[in-house]
Structure 1
């Protein structure tokens, strides 16, 4: 399956559901209370994070997509803190405020990276607490590419069928992250994403893959869903659609630290991808990649667009190798998002020899990513004269791409790399030979934006020109 990075900045996703404030009090513990056999925590740091449907919206915003959120908060400090943090992430919030119930808050006491106590402040919401949801949704849904119903069984989605009908009336896909054993309340949704435990709670234990598929298709049909995505932890995901072969995707995590919020990430990436115009199988595959990233992080976390883009490129085997100019610029942007230092060198590299290999290894050691930009065939002819290059550009790039020291290879038609330096802005520009820094072409460009220029020596008595002359002399004998 060919995966590409969606245009998330073209996506608009509406999240409706149970919003919460996850509050963490961090501090040291070095004594037991004289009042009771419990540790005394000296609180030194307070951390607030949006949870529940708020975390789903944060995941969407982290991808660079537009996120809107409808939920219920209390008329209290926690509600104001939650709204402030969501708005700071550029999430459009449209909350129904109730005065007789608190904002759902989960307070965790943390010491030495261990949770000592969790206190929940909440009261279940009644139908009247969400009575404005339908009117709010009617105004927003027509401008959305997807709707997520994020259910944590706190009472915000008691009018779920009305919300599904609104989305269907505007032909906007509605995705449901379900809760509880009554899946029939989500009938006529576009897609539902239960985990395996939730799924088996409704349909019964599935002892074989075929049993899972059969029960899933039966559930899909009875609920009039277009698709059912069962998330299965270390066994990956299974996508089921009527009249289509099932799609099994393996888990992508190399190491699992924390599964908290993984379901939020899955449905967020799935919805944002669909809203960006991706097909369902590709959207599910992207969500699977994102889940593999987020479970490698501690605590409730999100996946950023650069992280997902890197996973996509790794999946397609394009993290290293020959790239076009546009692909290279994307790769550089992604590397910088991860704090990597970019090193750049250029040349003809007509016949790769030991001098080149040693030079490139030394160059790569100056940073985290090495770009080798080579002259096109026409450019080499202008610089070196008739008969050069010996090897055409595609062969020269193939050899360079096979070297362990080289990350990315591209070619350019100009006689100098100055245009590329202006748009790539490498952290280090490297040239080999007997030059001073002031003699390196493009040095003034790199120095102007704060980059570094470095000259490395080639291996002695090794050069392409010398090799060519030796071959030509032998041919004359």
Structure 2
């Protein structure tokens, strides 16, 4: 499956459901309490993070997608903390604050990267009789590309049918992270995303892949679902759709530190991808990759668009090679977001020789990523004459892309790379030759935005022009000479 990144930045998602605060107290432990046989943790770090529907919204915003979060909270300090964190991350918060219930808070005590205990602060019953999410938030559906119902069985989504109906009426897909054993509450939703345990609690024990598919097809028919995504831990994910062959995706995590919030990440990437125009199978594949990233982090965590894009590029082998300018601008931005230093050089590179290889290896050592910009065939003819290039641009780019020192290759049609420098803004501009930096085309542009210019020497007595002249001199001679 060839994956491309959706336009996350042009999408908007509405998240409704149970909002909660995840609080972490962490520190070392070296003794047992004299009061009881329990470890004593010396708390050195207190961390607050949005949980539940808040974590879903945070994951969506981390991808660059517009996220609006609605739900119930208490009228307390925890709600203030949540709203400040979420709005600081770009999430629009539309909270219904209630006087007779606390904001749901989960306090986890951690030592040596192990969770020792979890303390929950919440009302024993949902204290909002007569309140309706549909009444308060269905108007926010306008302009949304997807609606996420994040159900943690805390009471916000006791009756989600009005919300599902309102979304379907305006053509907005509804994605549900379900809870409990009564999935009939989600009848008519676009996609349900239960884990295997939740699915089997409703559909019965599945002893084989055939059992899983059959039970899923039955559930989709009964509940009028457009799809069912079953997350299966180390066995990956299974996407079921009526009348379509099932899609099994293997788990990709290499090392699992914490599965907390992984389900939130899955549904967030699904929603943002669908809202950004991705087909459902592609959205599921992206969510699967995102899950492999997030379980490698401790605690509830979000996956950023650069992280996801890099993982996709690694999966598809497209993290290097020949790119268009638009593609290159994206990966350069990702590299910069990761703190990498980008080096840029340019030339015709008509016949790749030892001088080129040595020069590019030197250039690569000046940073973390090397871009090679190649003159197009038309540009080479203007610069070198009608007999050039010897090799067309696609072949020149392919050879350069195969060199270990080169990360990305891009073609340009102008006589100079100035327009590329304006767009990409590399940290270092490199040119080979025996002149000073004032002779490097584009040096003013690079130094103008704070970059640097480097001039490297070529290997002596090696050049494309010399090679071409030697070939021409040898034409027509006896091969034995």
TM-score of the two chains, using structure 2 as the length reference: 0.94
Other-structure match for 2:141: 141
Instruction: Say yes or no: does 1:128 pair with 2:128.
Output: yes
Q: 1:95 to 1:458 in 2, by over 3 A?
A: same
Other-structure match for 2:273: 273
Instruction: Say yes or no: does 1:87 pair with 2:87.
Output: yes
Other-structure match for 2:363: 363
In structure 2, distance between residues paired with 1:220 and 1:443 = 62
In structure 1, distance between residues paired with 2:411 and 2:389 = 13
Asked whether the equivalents of residues 159 and 185 of structure 2 are also in contact (C-alpha less than 8 Å), the reply is no
Alignment of structure 1 residues 18-29 onto 2, 5 Å: 18-29=18-29
Q: 1:323 to 1:290 in 2, by over 3 A?
A: same
Other-structure match for 2:428: 428
In structure 1, distance between residues paired with 2:283 and 2:292 = 14
List gaps (5 residues or longer) in structure 1.
none
- In the TM superposition, residue 26 of structure 1 has moved relative to its aligned partner by 2.9
Other-structure match for 1:410: 410
- In the TM superposition, residue 436 of structure 1 has moved relative to its aligned partner by 1.9
- In the TM superposition, residue 99 of structure 1 has moved relative to its aligned partner by 1.8
Secondary structure of 2:266's aligned partner: helix
Secondary structure of 2:128's aligned partner: helix
- In the TM superposition, residue 159 of structure 1 has moved relative to its aligned partner by 2.0
Other-structure match for 2:61: 61
Asked whether the equivalents of residues 67 and 91 of structure 1 are also in contact (C-alpha less than 8 Å), the reply is yes
Deviations 1:313-359 (A, max 9, x none): 33443221111111111121121122211111111111111111121
- In the TM superposition, residue 32 of structure 1 has moved relative to its aligned partner by 5.0
List gaps (5 residues or longer) in structure 2.
none
In structure 2, distance between residues paired with 1:143 and 1:350 = 51
In structure 2, distance between residues paired with 1:341 and 1:251 = 32
Alignment of structure 1 residues 38-437 onto 2, 5 Å: 38-126=38-126, 128-129=128-129, 131-437=131-437
Q: 1:416 to 1:141 in 2, by over 3 A?
A: closer
Secondary structure of 1:43's aligned partner: coil
Other-structure match for 1:5: 5
Asked whether the equivalents of residues 100 and 127 of structure 2 are also in contact (C-alpha less than 8 Å), the reply is no
- In the TM superposition, residue 230 of structure 1 has moved relative to its aligned partner by 0.7
Q: 1:171 to 1:378 in 2, by over 3 A?
A: closer
- In the TM superposition, residue 379 of structure 1 has moved relative to its aligned partner by 2.1
Deviations 1:83-122 (A, max 9, x none): 2211212212222222222111111223343333322111
Asked whether the equivalents of residues 72 and 130 of structure 1 are also in contact (C-alpha less than 8 Å), the reply is no
In structure 1, distance between residues paired with 2:95 and 2:366 = 51
Q: Comparing 244-253 with 185-194, which one deviates more in the overlay? A: 244-253
Asked whether the equivalents of residues 101 and 126 of structure 2 are also in contact (C-alpha less than 8 Å), the reply is no
Q: 1:157 to 1:390 in 2, by over 3 A?
A: same
Asked whether the equivalents of residues 26 and 110 of structure 2 are also in contact (C-alpha less than 8 Å), the reply is yes
TM-score of the two chains, using structure 1 as the length reference: 0.95
Secondary structure of 2:142's aligned partner: helix
Asked whether the equivalents of residues 98 and 129 of structure 1 are also in contact (C-alpha less than 8 Å), the reply is no
Secondary structure of 2:372's aligned partner: strand
- In the TM superposition, residue 57 of structure 1 has moved relative to its aligned partner by 0.7
Matched residues, number: 477
Asked whether the equivalents of residues 360 and 405 of structure 1 are also in contact (C-alpha less than 8 Å), the reply is yes
- In the TM superposition, residue 295 of structure 1 has moved relative to its aligned partner by 1.9
Once superposed, what is the RMSD of the aligned Cα atoms?
1.9
In structure 1, distance between residues paired with 2:38 and 2:287 = 42
In structure 1, distance between residues paired with 2:5 and 2:42 = 46
In structure 2, distance between residues paired with 1:438 and 1:286 = 46
Q: Comparing 91-100 with 347-356, which one deviates more in the overlay? A: 91-100
In structure 1, distance between residues paired with 2:254 and 2:131 = 45
Q: 1:169 to 1:476 in 2, by over 3 A?
A: closer
- In the TM superposition, residue 309 of structure 1 has moved relative to its aligned partner by 2.2
In structure 2, distance between residues paired with 1:21 and 1:83 = 10
Asked whether the equivalents of residues 72 and 129 of structure 1 are also in contact (C-alpha less than 8 Å), the reply is no
